[in-house]
Structure 1
Amino acid sequence: MYTMKISRMTVDKLGVKLYDKVSAVIAELVSNSYDADATCVEVTAPMGIYLATKQQGVLQDHGLTITVKDNGIGMTPEEVNEFYLKVGAERRTDYRRGDTSKKFGRKVMGRKGVGKLAPFGICNKIELITSGGDIIETEDTEGNKIMGYITAHLILDHNEIRSDDDNDYKPRIGQLNNTIQPKSGTTIIMSEFAHRKVPDIDAFSRQLAQRFGINSSDWSVVLKDSNKKVGDDKQEVAVGEFSVKKMRGTEIRFVEISDGSGGTRYAALDPDGDEYSDLKSFIKYEDTIYPITGWVAYSETPYKDDLMAGIRIYAHKKIAAQTTVFNKKAGFTGEHTIRSYLVGELHADFLDLDEDLIQTDRRDILWSHELGKAFEQWGQTLISKIGKLSREPMKKKILEVFKEVSKYEQVINTAFPLEEQREIREQAVTIAKLFGQTIRQDELEDKEHVGKLVELSLIFAPHVTLENKLREAAEDADTSLGVMAEILKTARVAELSSFGKIADDRIRVINKIEQLKDTPGTLEQEFQELIQSAPWLIDPQWAPITANQTFTTLKREFQKFYRDATGEEINLEAFPDPNKRMDFVLSTQDNFIEIIEIKRPGHNIKDEELNRIINYADQMEAFLNEPSNALFKKTFNGYRITLVADGLSLSPMAQKALNGLMSDGFLTHISWRTFLLNTRKMHEAFMNEAERQKRYGIRTE
Structure 2
Amino acid sequence: MNEGIGTTGMAGNDHYRMTVDLNVLDHLGINLYSNIAAVLTEAVANAWDADAENVEIGIDPDGKFIEIKDDGIGMSIEDMNTKYLRVGYRRRDEDQETGRTTAKGRPVMGRKGLGKLSLFSIANTIEVHSAKNGESHGLRMTIDGIHKSVQDKEPFYSPEKLPREEIQVTNGTAILLKDIKRQRLGRGATALRKRLARRFSVVGEAHGFKILIDGHPISTADRGDLPMVQFLWSFGDEEPDLSSAGQLLEREALSDRLDAWDGDWSVTGWIGTARLPKQLDSDDAGNLNSIVVFARGRLFHENILDKLNDGRLYTKYLTGQIEADFLDADDEPDIATSDRQRVQEDDPRYVQLIAFLRKQLTQVEKRWTEWRRLHEVEKAKETSPALAEWLESLPEGFRKSAETLIAKLSALPVDQDEDRKLMYRHGILAFERMKLRGSAEELAAHVHDIDKLLAILADRDSLEASLYRDIVKSRLDAIKDFQGIADDNAKESVLQKYLFDHLWLLDPAWERATASEVMETRLTTDGVLTQDMTEKERLGRVDIAYRTMAGKHIIVELKRVKRKMKLLELQEQGQTYVDKLKKILLAQGDATPNIEVVFVLGEPIDEEGSNPERLKSSMAAISPGSRIVHYDSLIRGAQEAYSEFLKKSKQLDKLERIVDRI
TM over 0.5: yes
- Tell me, in whole angstroms, the C-alpha distance in 1 between the residues paired with 2:599 and 2:166: 93
* Cα deviation 1:395-453 (Å, max 9, x = unaligned): 34665898699999849669x99xxx985899998775454467798787899997776
- Tell me, in whole angstroms, the C-alpha distance in 1 between the residues paired with 2:218 and 2:136: 29
Matched, 1:280 2:258: yes
Please tell me the residue identity of whatever aligns with 1:45.
Answer: I
- Tell me, in whole angstroms, the C-alpha distance in 2 between the residues paired with 1:530 and 1:118: 51
Give the 3-state SS of the residue equivalent to 2:194 in structure 1.
helix
Q: 1:256–1:293: 8 Å Cα contact kept in structure 2?
A: no
Residue 160 of structure 1: how far off its partner (Å): 1.4
Distance change >3 Å, CA 210–CA 643, structure 1 → 2 = closer
Out of 274, 294, 297, the position equivalent to 1:317 is 297
User: Which residue does 1:37 correspond to in 2?
Assistant: 51
Distance change >3 Å, CA 244–CA 24, structure 1 → 2 = same
Give the 3-state SS of the residue equivalent to 2:475 in structure 1.
helix
- Tell me, in whole angstroms, the C-alpha distance in 2 between the residues paired with 1:205 and 1:72: 21
Give the 3-state SS of the residue equivalent to 1:390 in structure 2.
helix
Matched, 1:221 2:221: no
Q: What is the root-mean-square deviation of aligned Cα atoms in Å?
A: 5.6
Give the 3-state SS of the residue equivalent to 2:125 in structure 1.
strand
* Cα deviation 1:198-223 (Å, max 9, x = unaligned): 23333211221122252442321122
Matched, 1:201 2:189: yes
- Tell me, in whole angstroms, the C-alpha distance in 1 between the residues paired with 2:312 and 2:605: 62
Please give the residue correspondences for 1:442-591 in structure 2 after superposition, counting only pairs within 5 Å: 454-460=424-430, 500-514=469-483, 516-517=485-486, 518=488, 519-521=490-492, 533=504, 576-578=553-555
User: Which residue does 1:22 correspond to in 2?
Assistant: 36
Give the 3-state SS of the residue equivalent to 2:175 in structure 1.
strand
Q: 2:236–2:254: 8 Å Cα contact kept in structure 1?
A: no
TM-score (structure 2 length as normaliser)? 0.59
* Cα deviation 1:538-579 (Å, max 9, x = unaligned): xxxxx99x9xxxxxxxxxxxxxxxxxxxxxxxxxx9964117
User: Which residue does 1:294 correspond to in 2?
Assistant: 268
Please tell me the residue identity of whatever aligns with 2:281.
Answer: K
Residue 296 of structure 1: how far off its partner (Å): 4.3
User: Which residue does 1:365 correspond to in 2?
Assistant: 343
Out of 174, 199, 217, the position equivalent to 1:211 is 199
Q: 1:326–1:379: 8 Å Cα contact kept in structure 2?
A: no
Distance change >3 Å, CA 201–CA 46, structure 1 → 2 = same
Q: 1:459–1:501: 8 Å Cα contact kept in structure 2?
A: no
* Cα deviation 1:352-388 (Å, max 9, x = unaligned): 31224233322233444xxx40x23432332332232
- Tell me, in whole angstroms, the C-alpha distance in 2 between the residues paired with 1:611 and 1:168: 94
Residue 299 of structure 1: how far off its partner (Å): 2.2
User: Which residue does 1:110 correspond to in 2?
Assistant: 110
Distance change >3 Å, CA 6–CA 178, structure 1 → 2 = farther
- Tell me, in whole angstroms, the C-alpha distance in 2 between the residues paired with 1:223 and 1:178: 23
- Tell me, in whole angstroms, the C-alpha distance in 2 between the residues paired with 1:114 and 1:524: 61
Q: 1:30–1:41: 8 Å Cα contact kept in structure 2?
A: yes
Out of 141, 144, 147, the position equivalent to 1:159 is 144
Please tell me the residue identity of whatever aligns with 2:164.
Answer: L
* Cα deviation 1:595-623 (Å, max 9, x = unaligned): xx99645x4x4644432569999xxxxxx
Q: 1:125–1:190: 8 Å Cα contact kept in structure 2?
A: yes
- Tell me, in whole angstroms, the C-alpha distance in 2 between the residues paired with 1:35 and 1:78: 18
Please tell me the residue identity of whatever aligns with 2:338.
Answer: T
Give the 3-state SS of the residue equivalent to 1:105 in structure 2.
coil
Residue 82 of structure 1: how far off its partner (Å): 3.5
Please give the residue correspondences for 1:261-280 in structure 2 after superposition, counting only pairs within 5 Å: 280=258
Q: 2:125–2:178: 8 Å Cα contact kept in structure 1?
A: yes
Unaligned runs of 5+ in 2: 1-18, 240-249, 439-462, 512-547, 560-566, 568-597, 617-628
Residue 167 of structure 1: how far off its partner (Å): 2.6
Q: 1:313–1:321: 8 Å Cα contact kept in structure 2?
A: yes
Distance change >3 Å, CA 201–CA 687, structure 1 → 2 = farther
Q: 1:516–1:522: 8 Å Cα contact kept in structure 2?
A: no
- Tell me, in whole angstroms, the C-alpha distance in 2 between the residues paired with 1:405 and 1:394: 16
Q: Which moved more, 1:676-685 or 1:70-79?
A: 676-685
User: Which residue does 2:322 correspond to in 1?
Assistant: 345
User: Which residue does 1:100 correspond to in 2?
Assistant: 101
Distance change >3 Å, CA 359–CA 398, structure 1 → 2 = same
- Tell me, in whole angstroms, the C-alpha distance in 2 between the residues paired with 1:351 and 1:410: 52
- Tell me, in whole angstroms, the C-alpha distance in 2 between the residues paired with 1:191 and 1:304: 32
Aligned length, in residue pairs = 501
Please give the residue correspondences for 1:645-684 in structure 2 after superposition, counting only pairs within 5 Å: none
Larger Rg belongs to = 1
Residue 688 of structure 1: how far off its partner (Å): 10
Distance change >3 Å, CA 497–CA 360, structure 1 → 2 = closer
- Tell me, in whole angstroms, the C-alpha distance in 2 between the residues paired with 1:613 and 1:401: 69
Q: 2:499–2:505: 8 Å Cα contact kept in structure 1?
A: no
Q: 1:510–1:680: 8 Å Cα contact kept in structure 2?
A: no
* Cα deviation 1:203-249 (Å, max 9, x = unaligned): 2112211222524423211223xxxxxxxxxxx64311246348677
Identity %: 18
- Tell me, in whole angstroms, the C-alpha distance in 2 between the residues paired with 1:692 and 1:350: 62
Distance change >3 Å, CA 686–CA 609, structure 1 → 2 = same
Distance change >3 Å, CA 182–CA 682, structure 1 → 2 = closer
- Tell me, in whole angstroms, the C-alpha distance in 1 between the residues paired with 2:653 and 2:358: 52
Distance change >3 Å, CA 533–CA 579, structure 1 → 2 = closer
Distance change >3 Å, CA 255–CA 693, structure 1 → 2 = closer
Please tell me the residue identity of whatever aligns with 1:10.
Answer: V
Please tell me the residue identity of whatever aligns with 1:501.
Answer: D
TM-score (structure 1 length as normaliser)? 0.57
- Tell me, in whole angstroms, the C-alpha distance in 1 between the residues paired with 2:422 and 2:184: 45
